Amino acid sequence: MKTEKVKVTVKLGNIQKTESFEYEYPENFEEAIEMDGETKAMKTYLNERKTNIQDKHRRKMLSELTASIQKKLEELGIEL
């Protein structure tokens, strides 16, 4: 197992509170299975994988959109 310090901040209106705590996590998939059970470890892995794929696609879409906007601005003679 590995351990790292994690900080969590919550805000409610103008009130803000931050706490730090030690977070223990598995070093590899075998430890994850031991710690959480096979079903939960696999579900966590699959969710993370899906999130990574979505993020990659989101970055690609944003890049294409930015290029399209930049091209349109250039056509209009507007520089940023």
What would the pLDDT profile of 5-38 be if each residue is shown by its tens digit?
999 999 999 999 999 999 999 999 999 999 999 9
Please report whether residue 24 resides in a domain.
yes
List the domain range (segments joined by +) for residue 36.
2-75
pTM of the entire predicted model: 0.62
Q: Is the pLDDT of residue 79 over 90?
A: no
Please report whether residue 31 resides in a domain.
yes
Domain count, the chain: 1
Max Cα separation, the chain?
Answer: 61
pLDDT value, residue 33: 96
CA angle 58, 59, 62 (to 5 degrees): 85
Residue 32 carries which side chain, given as an amino acid letter? A
Please report whether residue 80 resides in a domain.
no
pLDDT band at 80 (very low <50, low <70, confident <90, very high): confident
pLDDT value, residue 18: 97
